[in-house]
Amino acid sequence: MYTMELRFIRGGVCAVDGVLAAGCREGKYGVGLIINRGSTAAAVFTSNRVRAEPVKLTERVIADGSISAIVANSGNANCFTGREGMDDARRMARKVAESLSMDESEVAVASTGVIGRRMPIDKIEFLIQSAAAQLENSEAASGALAEAIMTTDTFPKEVAVEFELETGEKARIGAVAKGSGMIAPNMATMLSFITTDVDASSSELTEALRVAVDESFNMLIVDGDESTNDMVIISSTRTSGRIDSNFREALVAVCRELARMMARDGEGVTKSFQVDVVNAGTHEDAKMAARAIAGSSLVKTAIFGADPNWGRIVAAAGYSGAEFDPEEISVTLESDSESVVIVDHGDILAFEGTEELETAERVMTSKEIRIIVDLAAGDESATAYGCDLTYDYVRINAEYTT
Amino acid sequence: MYTMELRFIRGGVCAVDGVLAAGCREGKYGVGLIINRGSTAAAVFTSNRVRAEPVKLTERVIADGSISAIVANSGNANCFTGREGMDDARRMARKVAESLSMDESEVAVASTGVIGRRMPIDKIEFLIQSAAAQLENSEAASGALAEAIMTTDTFPKEVAVEFELETGEKARIGAVAKGSGMIAPNMATMLSFITTDVDASSSELTEALRVAVDESFNMLIVDGDESTNDMVIISSTRTSGRIDSNFREALVAVCRELARMMARDGEGVTKSFQVDVVNAGTHEDAKMAARAIAGSSLVKTAIFGADPNWGRIVAAAGYSGAEFDPEEISVTLESDSESVVIVDHGDILAFEGTEELETAERVMTSKEIRIIVDLAAGDESATAYGCDLTYDYVRINAEYTT
């Protein structure tokens, strides 16, 4: 899949030398800290018209292309909280700045949790102080950070890679994230904080980050795509070589791995799947078809029910807007151990009594499923990530109250 | 809601003089017939790239703006069936033509049911013959037709109205439909056949029908919007006065009533709801916001769970793409007997301990709920129709096998 060697290593955001992290949790509230003084930074924010106060604040903080710290809390999204909410976000930044002797305009703020409720700011300030006292460049510190920002996540999410730049210099990217492929009661807010040592300007980082987010988090299909609090920040120590295509490729790989983790996660999720649309006429077509299939409630319930329902897959491709000839489409289902073509150039191969149907039914019982849809309309491809739609999904979201 | 007087009457498609109908059912297969010799006709077809054979055939039949009959079967969608499928669709048209002495090029064909399986054409031909022997202009005949085209529908759907044209002439519109607001295993195919006596050319009917479909069926939110078999046909005897804006308004009303019936229907549906977005900047914005809210899985599960979750409603409006200021948005919940403002110009009124929350919780327990979202950004409005997302939805769609 990747054209260069990518070594997955431990350490999360702390895999990059000089980056400090910490995380503290008390009950349903958590605070995570990342310190990367004077780092070059870039961010991508939610496109939702309703934006939480920390999103508005961080957008201003990062406008000059540099940050020294990120503070993120879980338990309260500080969204739809008006002027008081903005004051609370500022107080979080100020608390970090005071504890660590930096300017508050250098502190990015992120929040995730319930919306429409005032922040328990005293508790959050207390947690910030505790976290500030535990900062370290260590695997454990990044782990504590990843745990602190979880909400409905069932496991912490960290990725780190080491690779060579085209010049042969070693470089690293580390990351933590929270979010789930399930539509969680808190709107499935997605936060990700990425660190690197690659030398790049803020605008170079922005460009690389946008592409990576587009191919990963934006292809993770959750309800409505973007919550009020989504935020991805990358910051660099600039201690390694110059940005190049190896870095860009590694960044896509890191973000995709995080997206896959999110697709697997979420209460009520029993299976995750990946849709690879290949041979589309345009990249946009490939993305539309992959997203439509991964987002189809009918496909998602079929995954839950282990039903190799080619009809739902083809129909979803049909309404996606992508151009293709239904008589040329092919569909393959894959698990880790098996692969079976169920539709071949418009011919249905998996029907009652066939070996194809038997294999397809077996593939559909695995925990991670790959659906490959060949549109036979060009040579562009795209991948989307999704999870099944289950009884527990309905229960969790119906029982949760405001 | 309507600016002119609209009298809802009985009789379905047979409310229009001269129209004959019939319906026969045997087990899971049904056939419905409508005869309107030499009528002027127009149709709107699915925009899904994958189209069933009868859709392709009927598009050609109706190209000259005239039809004499419509034959529709339930139980098999005749989709993804290739050349044999087209032969079967033609055989259906031919059987009608032979039984009733007309040209087969005057017979429109529609199908709904499972996809990817060959039509049981002998059985369908037998049912066509039986139906042809029972044709009548009667309430019972339209009712039999409405029953014959049902698949997962739990009740037949008919509407008929009488109204005055601007000239004072009396005119009528009658209709039957099948389809459900739930995402049914058969892709929730939507069929509707409409009759009228208003004098209009095929292109005038096409224009009026497109507008009506856009404001009704296209605002009924089901998975992925359009199945492979969707079809709406209108045919006119042209025995009343000329087409005018009263007719256009009545046609919208008829289609909206059918869409509301579909939202209420479907196995697994316990409640239906309507989203009225008002004071949007553009009509497109109003439609996008209404559709996003009605289609949100989080809103749909909140309706099921009777949770007045303003956060999910506002967030869905936020990601819809519609322009608005979150600090100006207002949200009202309504049942038949009560109405309560839960968000007023960005202020949350329904929180713990308030009378607003109590009323809102009561409203959310009713079978039909209206959500009114005021974007305070202009004076355009739109309405979308949806139903709740329930345990039974997951069960039905997960257990159904290809």
pLDDT digits (tens, 9 = 90+) for B153-197: 889 999 999 999 999 999 999 999 998 766 554 557 899 999 999
Q: Does B348 touch chain A (CB under 8 A)?
A: yes
Q: Does A224 touch chain B (CB under 8 A)?
A: yes
- Residue A227 confidence (pLDDT): 85
* Residue A185: strand, helix, or coil: coil
Please report, for residues B23, B160, B220, the alpha-carbon distance to residue A362 in angstroms, rounded to integers and kept in the order given: 42, 50, 36
Question: Could you tell me how many CB contacts below 8 A there are between chain A and chain B?
Answer: 172
pLDDT category at B401 given cuts 50, 70, 90 is: low
Q: Does B38 touch chain A (CB under 8 A)?
A: no
pLDDT for residue B142 is more than 80: yes
CA-nearest residue to B48 within chain A is A319
Cβ within 8 Å, pair A399-B225 = no
Question: What's the CA gap between A309 and A298, in Å, rounded?
Answer: 9
Chain A, 295 to 314: residues with Cβ < 8 Å from chain B are 296-298, 301-302, 304-305, 307-312, 314
- Residue B399 confidence (pLDDT): 76
Cβ count within 10 A of residue A239: 14
Q: How far is CA A299 from the centre of its chain?
A: 21
* Residue A214: strand, helix, or coil: helix
A390: nearest CB among B48, B350, B394: B394
Cβ within 8 Å, pair B394-A393 = yes
Q: What would the pLDDT profile of B228-275 be if each residue is shown by its tens digit?
A: 899 999 999 999 999 999 999 999 999 999 999 999 987 688 999 999
pLDDT category at A224 given cuts 50, 70, 90 is: low
Instruction: Name B126's bridge partners.
Output: none
Structure tokens at A215: 């191919």
Q: What would the pLDDT profile of B7-63 be if each residue is shown by its tens digit?
A: 999 999 999 999 999 999 999 999 999 999 999 999 999 988 999 999 999 999 999
Cβ within 8 Å, pair A50-B301 = no
- Residue A400 confidence (pLDDT): 64
Least reliable range by pLDDT among A131-135, A225-229, B220-224: B220-224
How many angstroms separate the CA of residue B115 from the nearest CA in chain A?
Answer: 7
> Is-contact B74 B29, C-beta < 8 A?
yes
pLDDT category at A181 given cuts 50, 70, 90 is: low
Cβ within 8 Å, pair A298-B393 = no
Domains A7-264 and A272-399 share a fold: no
- The one catalytic residue in B189, B195, B237, B390 is B189
Phi, psi (5° rounding) for residue A117? -120, 145
Q: Is the ipTM of this complex over 0.90?
A: no
pLDDT for residue B284 is more than 90: yes
How many angstroms separate the CA of residue B300 from the nearest CA in chain A?
Answer: 9
pLDDT for residue B69 is more than 80: yes
pLDDT category at B78 given cuts 50, 70, 90 is: very high
Structure tokens at B191: 């069929």
Cβ within 8 Å, pair A301-B389 = no
* Percent residues over pLDDT 90 in chain A: 82
Distant-in-sequence, close-in-space partners of A255: CB < 8 Å, separation ≥ 6: A175, A192, A194, A212, A213, A215, A216, A217, A232
Q: Does B36 touch chain A (CB under 8 A)?
A: no
Structure tokens at B299: 């809103």
Q: Is B397 part of any known ligand binding site?
A: yes
Chain B, 169 to 188: residues with Cβ < 8 Å from chain A are 183, 185, 187
pLDDT category at B114 given cuts 50, 70, 90 is: confident
Q: What would the pLDDT profile of A253-286 be if each residue is shown by its tens digit?
A: 999 999 999 999 876 889 999 999 999 999 999 9
pLDDT category at A180 given cuts 50, 70, 90 is: confident
- Residue B38 confidence (pLDDT): 96
Q: Does B28 touch chain A (CB under 8 A)?
A: no
| CB contacts, 8 Å: B308 with chain A | 402
pLDDT for residue B2 is more than 80: no
Which of the following CATH numbers is that of domain B272-399: 3.40.50.920, 3.40.50.2300, 3.30.300.30, 3.10.20.340?
Answer: 3.10.20.340
- Smallest CA-to-CA distance from A290 within A207, A203, A196, A380 is with A380
Cβ within 8 Å, pair A305-B116 = no
Please report, for residues A388, A399, B263, B395, the alpha-carbon distance to residue A392 in angstroms, rounded to integers and kept in the order given: 10, 10, 24, 11
Please identify which residue in the block is written with the tokens 């007719």.
B247
CA-nearest residue to A398 within chain B is B305
pLDDT category at B225 given cuts 50, 70, 90 is: low
Question: What's the CA gap between A223 and B221, in Å, rounded?
Answer: 14
Question: What's the CA gap between B224 and A312, in Å, rounded?
Answer: 10
- Enumerate the known binding-site residues of A for substrate: 151, 178, 189, 267, 397, 402
- Residue B4 confidence (pLDDT): 81
B50: nearest CB among A228, A314, A402: A314
Integer-rounded Cα Rg, in Å, for chain A is 22
Please state the domain extents for chain B.
7-264, 272-399
User: Going edge to edge, which strands form the sheet with A272-280?
Assistant: A347-348, A339-344, A330-334, A368-374, A272-280, A380-387
Cβ within 8 Å, pair A397-B301 = yes
If residue A33 lies in a helix (H) or strand (E), which one and from where to where?
strand A29-45
* Percent residues over pLDDT 70 in chain A: 95
| CB contacts, 8 Å: B183 with chain A | 297-298
Cβ within 8 Å, pair A224-B314 = no
CA-nearest residue to B323 within chain A is A49
- Residue A115 confidence (pLDDT): 84
Just list the catalytic residues of A. 189
Task: Count the residues in chain A.
Answer: 402
Chain B, 312 to 341: residues with Cβ < 8 Å from chain A are 312, 314-320, 322-324, 326-327
pLDDT for residue A184 is more than 60: no
CATH number of B7-264: 3.60.70.12
- Residue B265 confidence (pLDDT): 87
Q: Does B224 touch chain A (CB under 8 A)?
A: yes
pLDDT category at A106 given cuts 50, 70, 90 is: very high
DSSP B220: B
Q: What would the pLDDT profile of A316-356 be if each residue is shown by its tens digit?
A: 999 999 999 999 999 999 999 999 999 999 999 988 899 99
Q: Does A115 touch chain B (CB under 8 A)?
A: yes
| CB contacts, 8 Å: B228 with chain A | 315, 318
Q: Does A354 touch chain B (CB under 8 A)?
A: no
* Percent residues over pLDDT 90 in chain B: 81
The overall average pLDDT reported for chain B is: 93
* Residue B26: strand, helix, or coil: strand
Cβ within 8 Å, pair B80-A398 = no
pLDDT for residue A2 is more than 90: no
- Residue A226 confidence (pLDDT): 74
- Residue A4 confidence (pLDDT): 81
Instruction: Name B171's bridge partners.
Output: B163
Cβ count within 10 A of residue A167: 11
A49: nearest CB among B225, B318, B401: B318
Q: What would the pLDDT profile of A297-314 be if each residue is shown by its tens digit?
A: 889 989 999 999 898 899
Structure tokens at B313: 């409603």
Residue type, B130: S
Cβ within 8 Å, pair A227-B315 = yes
| CB contacts, 8 Å: B390 with chain A | 394, 398
- Smallest CA-to-CA distance from A93 within A64, A65, A63, A132 is with A132
Question: What's the CA gap between B86 and B109, in Å, rounded?
Answer: 11
Cβ within 8 Å, pair A305-B80 = no
